[in-house]
Amino acid sequence: MPLNRTSWSAAVFSLVAAAAVVGTPREASGSQPADRPPARVPVSSARGLDPSIIAAFSTIKAVTRPSRDAVMGFTVPTKITDIVVRGGQEVAKGQVIVQGDEAEDRALLRLQKVRAETDLPVARARKQMELAETEYRIQQEVRSGGGSSDQQLERARLAFEVAKIDVSKAQMEQTQEVIQVDRLESRVQKFRIEAPFDGIVDNVMLDVGHSASENDKVVRVVNVDHLWIDAPAPTQDPVTLSLKVGDAAWVLFDMAGAPIVREGKVIEAAPTADAASRTRRVRVEVANPKGGERLLAGEPAYVRFTSPTEEFVKMVEAAKVARQ
């Protein structure tokens, strides 16, 4: 008896369902095929501080950040011509990091320096004044001898006065030319991104040949010799209310799964609180010297404002020994 379309679909569905339920013998028993590697736990989840250590230290969790952080770009549109310093390299204050196309403005600067260094306009005005003064004196002598006229004498006098004004004007214009040199030098500086402080280049976002606008972020420079932590201290804790600048603070860091505690100090204590979380922002500064265990900015940290207990110190030491 031939099957209609409905009966045929039902038969196919039954066969597929049966195959899914039965499967292969290996899959039915719950074991993996021999060529499939066993599932592995990610390293990031297998490492890290023991939650009991964190709980014993503090419940105030925050994030470290650089004590100085500047994201910079050009203040005028330009094309990037050179990347002098790349990410991860140290820079000194004033060192050029990224260079823009300053050829045209550099030429204008050279032209302006020529104008500022010449004194020809002032010298010419002085000679004109000497000539007018000589003519005025001649007119005075001629007039005293009965010659010339009062009108000619007055005209010579006014010409001399105008010549003196022209000298002052030439001197003023020369001063303006010198000031223009400073202005163009400042404009040339706008085609360079310089380090605002001693630090490390974190990242250069653009590359050579990119046309950067005033809104483009080009480079980030940080200083991590000191780390800042903005800790949300609970206002229900009496210790939080008495905190002031200069007070000691202790910070727990996770150094690749190893606990590290460093003492810092309070450098800011907000005069306001967040009503939703009932916390007060307290900024803690911790030294991060280049030698020894250098901490990364942007990592989580845990803060407390009383000295850790002896039990916690023993717990940290035991954790360090266990990792060795």
The CATH number assigned to the domain holding 196 equals 2.40.50.100
Per-residue pLDDT, averaged over 178-197, amounts to: 96
Q: Number of structural domains, the chain?
A: 3
What average pLDDT is seen over the chain?
85
Sequence letter at residue 255: M
Q: What is the C-alpha separation between 247 and 266, in angstroms, rounded?
A: 5
- The per-residue pLDDT for 47 is 57
53 has pLDDT over 50: yes
Per-residue pLDDT, averaged over 255-262, amounts to: 86
8 occurs within a structural domain: no
Specify the 3-state DSSP secondary structure of 123.
Answer: helix
Query: Is-contact 97 80, C-beta < 8 A?
Result: no
**Global pTM value:** 0.71
257 has pLDDT over 80: no
Which is it for the CA torsion 75, 78, 84, 88, positive or negative? positive
> Which of 97, 99, 67, 61 minimizes the C-alpha distance to 219?
97
130 occurs within a structural domain: yes
- The per-residue pLDDT for 30 is 39
HSE, CB side, 13 Å, CA atoms: give it for residue 217.
Answer: 7
Q: Which domain holds residue 250?
A: 51-68+223-323
CATH number, position 265: 2.40.30.170
Ranges of beta strands (E only) in the chain are 60-72, 78-83, 90-91, 96-100, 192-194, 199-204, 211-212, 219-234, 248-255, 258-274, 279-287, 300-304
Sequence letter at residue 150: D
Does 185 lie in the same domain as 82?
no
Determine whether 189 is exposed, middle or buried from the number of CB atoms within 10 Å of its CB (0-12, 13-18, 19+).
middle
Does 254 lie in the same domain as 197?
no
Does 244 lie in the same domain as 279?
yes
